[in-house]
């Protein structure tokens, strides 16, 4: 067997409407379908859906803080240039999104944010795709502070 690509991510959310607004209005992802009153699918157009949100309600156990097993974050490419990343940063600030970090990874420039349920997302641009395509070890370059 060989994995061909990451198909989609499914997130449990406390409040579907709050998360729909975040992923749809703030991040600009296109809502592809609803699953009754408890689910929503989003796509960038690459496939039928890349994100599925499933509501579990306000009483659900929150994501534990600190060191834990499980997902750290997932990355979303938001453009090709620092100008696009700066624009994303401005929009995130206007929407009062929690920004938890900003890193220059050498091959990417990244902003780290939290969704309404505390899931961490990396919003990034590829700085020089040819570098990591020719030399995959470039991905593990030392992290530097991001200067936008």
Q: Is residue 64 part of a domain?
A: no
Tokens of 136: 């995959």
Residue in 100, 117, 145, 146 with CA at minimum distance from that of residue 12 = 117
Q: 44 pLDDT exceeds 90? A: yes
DSSP string, 110-147: EEEEE-TTS-EEEEEEES-HHHHHH-GGGGGPPPEE--
pLDDT at 12: 98
The pLDDT tens digits for 61-70 are 999 999 999 9
Residues 53 and 120 in one domain: no
Residues 53 and 80 in one domain: no
Residues 91 and 148 in one domain: yes
Q: Is 49 exposed, middle or buried (0-12, 13-18, 19+ CB in 10 A)?
A: buried
Mean pLDDT, to the nearest integer, of 60-79? 94
Q: Tell me the sheet residues that pair with 114.
A: 120
Whether residue 58 contacts residue 18, with contact meaning beta carbons closer than 8 Å, is answered with no
Residues 46 and 108 in one domain: no
First-to-final CA distance of the chain: 41
Residues 97 and 148 in one domain: yes
pLDDT at 141: 87
Residues 36 and 87 in one domain: no
Alpha carbons 32 and 126: distance in angstroms, whole number: 26
Residues 54 and 111 in one domain: no
Say how many C-beta atoms besides its own lie within 10 A of residue 6's C-beta: 10
Whether residue 79 contacts residue 85, with contact meaning beta carbons closer than 8 Å, is answered with yes
Q: Is residue 146 part of a domain?
A: yes
Alpha carbons 97 and 115: distance in angstroms, whole number: 8
Overall number of domains in the chain? 2
CATH value at residue 90 = 3.10.180.10
Q: Is residue 66 part of a domain?
A: no
- Domain region containing 30: 1-58
pLDDT band at 147 (very low <50, low <70, confident <90, very high): very high
Q: Is residue 22 part of a domain?
A: yes
Domain boundary among the residues 58, 88, 104 is at 58
Residues 53 and 76 in one domain: no
The pLDDT tens digits for 87-139 are 999 999 999 999 999 999 999 999 999 999 999 999 999 988 778 888 888 88
Q: Is residue 65 part of a domain?
A: no
Q: Is residue 121 part of a domain?
A: yes
């Amino acid at each position: 067997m060989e994995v061909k690509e990451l198909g989609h991510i499914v997130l449990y959310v406390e409040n579907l409407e709050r998360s729909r607004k975040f992923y749809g209005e703030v991040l600009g992802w296109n809502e592809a379908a609803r699953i009754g009153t408890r689910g929503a699918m989003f796509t960038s157009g690459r496939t039928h859906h890349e994100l599925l949100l499933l509501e579990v309600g306000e009483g659900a156990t929150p994501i534990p803080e600190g060191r834990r097993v499980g997902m750290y974050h997932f990355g979303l490419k938001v453009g090709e240039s620092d100008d696009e990343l700066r624009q994303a940063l401005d929009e995130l600030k206007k929407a009062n999104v929690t920004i938890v970090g900003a890193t220059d990874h050498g091959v990417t420039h990244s902003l780290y944010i939290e969704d309404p349920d505390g899931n961490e997302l990396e919003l990034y641009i590829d700085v020089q795709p040819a570098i990591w395509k020719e030399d995959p070890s470039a991905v593990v370059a030392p992290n530097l502070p991001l200067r936008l």
